[in-house]
Amino acid sequence: MSFQAKLIITAMALLNGLFVMELLRKRKLSESYTLLWFFVIGAVIFFTWAEQFLFSLTGFFGAITPVSTLTLLSLLFILVMLIFFSMKIYKMERRIQELVQRLALENAKRNQRITP
C-alpha cells in the first residue's frame, strides 16, 4: 500500500475517532460503544501501518493478497456485531414485554378498585 493511501486511511480513522467523541459528548453513544469503536479505529490504523503482520495473517488465512485478509477480518467483525446487536434486541424485546405485562396488571388492578 502506498504511503499516501496509508495517510488517507489514518486521517479518515482519526476523523472517525473525533466523530465518535462528539457522539459521546452529546450523549448519543454510550461509553461502552465508544470503547468498542476506538478499538476498531485502533485496529484499522494498526493494520494500515503493520504491513509485515498483515502479510503474516494473509499467509495464515491462505489468502492471496492482504486486501483479501482485510476483507475477511471486516466480514468477521460485521458478523460479530450482528450477533451482538441481535442479543441486545432480544434482551430489549423481553424487557418491553415484561414492562407491558406489568402495566397491564397495574391497569387491571386499578380498574378493579374503581369498579365495585
Taking alpha carbons only, the member of 13, 10, 12, 37 closest to residue 23 is 37
Decide: 40 and 51 in contact? Cβ < 8 Å: no
Please tell me the predicted confidence (pLDDT) of residue 115. 65
56-67 pLDDT, tens digit per residue, is 999 999 999 888
Rounded Cα gap, residues 35 and 17, in angstroms? 10
For 71, the grid coordinates are 476483507
Please tell me the predicted confidence (pLDDT) of residue 91. 96
Which residue is listed with cell 472517525? 16
* Confidence (pTM): 0.72
Average pLDDT, the chain: 92
Mean pLDDT of 58-78: 90
- pLDDT confidence tier of residue 100, bands split at 50, 70 and 90: very high
Decide: 29 and 16 in contact? Cβ < 8 Å: no
% of residues, the chain, pLDDT over 90: 72
